[in-house]
Amino acid sequence: MKGVADIAEVFGIFHDGSIAAPLSDGLSEIVVEIEYLAERLSPSGSSFTIRFDDLERAAFSPWEESGQPALPVIMGLASILPLELEILSAKVVGDVVEVACSCLSLDFPGGCLEIIASGCRVYDASGREWTLEELKKLADDYWDEWSSRGGKPGEGEASG
């Protein structure tokens, strides 16, 4: 996948997923824990790995809360990954992918993850690389089934 628009689309597909640290010491990849999609590939599946090409910037800007002082920007994936971020949405602003995230680990509700990279590659737990079109189909098929169930969890899925 090339360019910021494709990266933003990947994050959009993975909305509701949690950003976790990779198993390796890779400084240009993240793991997105998103069981409802990963389980479609393998019953024990729980995540995908996003590897960024030519990662220039990874920063997290916490949202400011009314009456509270502004919090500093957190730089680098190594410092960002422990925040336990959950993906809400993604958009492109200039050459930056802005990912709105809730934060599960600290005393602020969330913020904006900013990524500047030339592209990304997405892998499932078995190491298979996925194209953007394949990811879209995987997600579309899930949401079509979800809608056909009236928005209720399928067999084996958590209810929320």
89 in any annotated domain: yes
- Say if residues 4 and 95 touch (Cβ distance below 8 Å): yes
Question: E strands within the chain?
Answer: 18-20, 29-33, 47-53, 57-62, 74-75, 85-93, 96-103, 110-116, 119-124, 129-130
**β-pairing verdict for 119-124 and 110-116:** unpaired
158 in any annotated domain: no
Q: How many domains does the chain have?
A: 1
129 in any annotated domain: yes
131 in any annotated domain: yes
Query: By residue range, what is the domain housing residue 32?
Result: 3-148
Cα dist from 119 to 3, 7, 90, 160, whole Å: 5, 6, 15, 32
For the cut 60, the answer to whether the pLDDT of residue 13 exceeds it is: yes
Residues 93-130 pLDDT 10s: 999 999 999 987 766 789 999 999 999 999 998 999 99
157 in any annotated domain: no
**Percent with pLDDT over 70 in the chain:** 89
154 in any annotated domain: no
8 in any annotated domain: yes
pLDDT range class, residue 24, cuts 50, 70, 90? low
155 in any annotated domain: no
Closest CA to 34 of 45, 23, 24: 45
Supply the pLDDT for residue 160: 43
**Percent with pLDDT over 90 in the chain:** 59
